[in-house]
Amino acid sequence: MEFSSKLLENAVNEMSQLPGIGKRTALRLVLHLLRQPESQTLNLAESLSAMRSKIKFCKNCHNISDTDLCEICANPHRLGNTICVVEDIRDVMAIENTSSFRGLYHVLGGKISPMDGIGPNELNIKSLVEKVKEGQIKELIFALGSTMEGDTTNFYIYKQIQGCDVITSTISRGISVGNELEYTDEVTLGRSIINRIPFETSLKS
């Protein structure tokens, strides 16, 4: 792809690093920005810069937040003794959109995947196990996607907390095996949270 401007080429190269964005799509987006008022492009650049430099991770659940404690963890009306274990922020958003869960979350930041070089130490598992061992958690809901990596991660955490006085459950399999939570419709996801089953039962299926 030939460019008449090095500045344009640099912008396209940076834009094309985004997931699902090829060089042609990146060029179309950059040219669109170029046609917009300069203030609009500057606002976009400033918001991205502020997000990258100022965004935080909740010290309690590892959710993305503007403050040390996210809005969900800071809400006194949430059930602090019930934790829903999810892969990332997109899953928190998906479950929150169902309005079917009133507990707290714990964001792992991924799933165990040896083939990708992701082990337990690369995830937020240690802090979750510590929460459970403190004895304040009544129920732990595993809400990872129905994939081999998700099931492996669920089982690893389950083994780490065996012997603790905590109920372990998993979302019901109204969600197709192999699907990610973020792509599941809100009604199905909401029912899966409400109709969750004991984790031990899922191990037998």
- Whole-number pLDDT of residue 164: 93
C-alpha dist (Å) from residue 2 to 27, 29, 34, 117: 11, 17, 18, 37
Q: What are 29-43's pLDDT values in tens digits? A: 999 999 999 999 999
Written as six digits, the tokens of 51 are 């997000």
The predicted structure's pLDDT at residue 147: 82
The pLDDT value given to residue 152 = 93
pTM of the model: 0.77
DSSP 103-147: EEEEE-SS--BGGGTB-GGGTTTHHHHHHHHTT--SEEEE---SS
User: Which residues neighbour 110 within 8 Å (Cβ) at sequence distance 6 or greater?
Assistant: 87, 88, 118, 122, 123
pLDDT lower than 50: segments of the chain: 175, 177-178
Say how far apart CA 203 and CA 142 lie, in whole Å. 12
Query: What pLDDT does 202 receive?
Result: 63
d(CA 199, CA 178): 18
Both tokens of 142, joined, read 């595993």
Question: Please, are residues 40 and 46 in contact by the beta-carbon 8 Å criterion?
Answer: no
